[in-house]
Amino acid sequence: MANKGCPVCRHSILTPTQYHSQEIDACYHCGGLWFEKDEMNSVLSAIDNGHDNVDFTGQLGKRSGVSQRQCPDCQKSLQHYQLLEHYDLEVDVCHGCDGVWIDRDEIAAVQQSPRLRETLEKLNTQPNWKSWVFQFLSQMPVEYNIRPHRTPWVTWALVLINVLIYFSYAGSDNSMMAAITSFGSTPAELANGDQWWTPLTATFLHGSLLHLAGNMYFLWLTGDNLEDALGHWRFLGLYLLCGLGAGLISVLMNWNSNIPSVGASGAIAGLFGMYMLWFRHASLTFMIIVWQKKLSPFWYFGIWLGINLLGMVGNEGGVDYWAHIGGFVIGIIIGLSMHRWVMAQNPLLPLLAQPQARVLR
Ligand SMILES: [Zn+2]
Ligand SMILES: [Zn+2]
């Protein structure tokens, strides 16, 4: 068999290499890989990317011209193709023998390309009349994000627990008052060293059905993706940490207050911080009067933070702004310190954060 030359380095010879139980050719000089016809499909089907029957050339985007590089097998000029319709990375394909050349820095995106394609399709869906009606009636955003790999048991359990706890005391005003007095967090009581458990228990109480519904919607919306990225127990630990931290910040900032504070908002604000930093590609719809627009999490939660800061400055009552802002800051600190780890665990996330990924909003 004749030696195959590297299309990039020219003078280097490709070396047969085992790659995900396929024999392909690799250049040890530039790190590029050459896949003959069908080898790419076998490799992509063998890799864990959520798809078992991959048609690589079928999923390619537009052809964007002729490459300077030559096919190692049939010496024809390779053709540039966009990796996916909404992912601007160019791979080299041979029209003569259906071989594919992949540069070293393209390997990660190619390996994940079936799931990347599915995700970009989902991210780039445009709001329709159903999402408009939903948001108009509920005033809640519609989310566009990765479909989680694992079932979000912890998120569902947290929602269920919050709902069950609410209905256990919401029957009468007296039982509502009793629950909030015993388990809501009252700064003046804590200052006296009483009721030390309340910063945690207050996270599971809500003062009204609307308060509960709003919080649970946002927990469900952000929780499934965060639980998927973090794993079940880590997600639960961070949720409780944000709730506890937000509660303590609220107590410290309202030291002499006799007003008990309740709600999962502080913990959920922590989730917002992490979500904003790890899911930059996601979109949440925002509605101004009747106009619905997809926003990046950075803009969406930026506006949310602005509303909270305005409410705090304007001294509007009834909302624990310090718990919201405190939880959000804790979430951002966690989000920054775990960023590298989360990206390494979830290869799709750094790929979607690249400028090559075109997210329509
Ligand atoms: Zn090379
Ligand atoms: Zn060829």
What pLDDT digit, counting tens, does each position of 300-320 carry? 999 999 999 998 888 777 788
Query: Which one, of 176, 182, 174, lies nearest residue 198 by Cα?
Result: 182
Going from the Cα of 12 to the center of ligand 2, the distance in angstroms, rounded, reads: 18
Ligand nearest to the CA of 37: 2
Going from the Cα of 211 to the center of ligand 1, the distance in angstroms, rounded, reads: 60
Residues 247 and 202 sit within 8 Å (Cβ to Cβ): yes
Residue 113 tokens, joined: 């390309």
pLDDT of residue 21: 87
Q: Domain 126-353: what homologous superfamily?
A: Rhomboid-like (1.20.1540.10)
pLDDT of residue 1: 57
Confidence of residue 194 (pLDDT cuts 50, 70, 90): confident
Residue given tokens 């990375």 in the structure block:
89
pLDDT of residue 239: 98
pLDDT at 237 over 80: yes
Contacts of 9 (CB under 8 A, 6+ apart): 27, 29, 30
Residues 56 and 94 sit within 8 Å (Cβ to Cβ): no
Give the Cα separation of 186 and 196 in Å (integer): 10
Residues 105 and 341 sit within 8 Å (Cβ to Cβ): no
38 — phi, psi (to 5°)? 75, -20
Residue 39 tokens, joined: 């080898």
How many percent of the chain have pLDDT more than 90? 84
Ligand nearest to the CA of 95: 2
pLDDT at 97 over 60: yes
Between 224 and 260, where is the model more confident? 224
Query: Which one, of 263, 236, 282, 235, lies nearest residue 326 by Cα?
Result: 263
Going from the Cα of 75 to the center of ligand 2, the distance in angstroms, rounded, reads: 6
Beta strand 22-26 with 15-19: parallel, antiparallel or unpaired? antiparallel
pLDDT of residue 255: 83
Going from the Cα of 104 to the center of ligand 2, the distance in angstroms, rounded, reads: 20
For every residue of 72-128, DSSP letters joined together read TTT-PEEEEEEEETTEEEEEEE-TTT--EEE-GGGHHHHHTHHHHHHHHHHHTPPP-
Query: Which one, of 285, 255, 290, 277, lies nearest residue 339 by Cα?
Result: 277
Ligand nearest to the CA of 32: 1
pLDDT of residue 254: 86
Q: Note the pLDDT tens digit of each residue in 33-81.
A: 999 999 999 999 999 888 888 999 999 999 999 999 999 999 999 999 9
66 — phi, psi (to 5°)? -100, 135
Q: What pTM value is reported for the model?
A: 0.92
pLDDT of residue 16: 95
Ligand nearest to the CA of 97: 2
Mean pLDDT of all residues belonging to the chain: 93
- Count the neighbouring beta carbons within 10 Å of the beta carbon of residue 51: 16
Residues 205 and 184 sit within 8 Å (Cβ to Cβ): yes
pLDDT of residue 51: 87
Give the Cα separation of 107 and 255 in Å (integer): 55
Going from the Cα of 43 to the center of ligand 1, the distance in angstroms, rounded, reads: 20
pLDDT of residue 68: 92
Enumerate the CATH 1.20.1540.10 domain ranges in the chain, comma separated.
Answer: 126-353
How many percent of the chain have pLDDT more than 70? 99
Ligand nearest to the CA of 74: 2
pLDDT at 13 over 90: yes
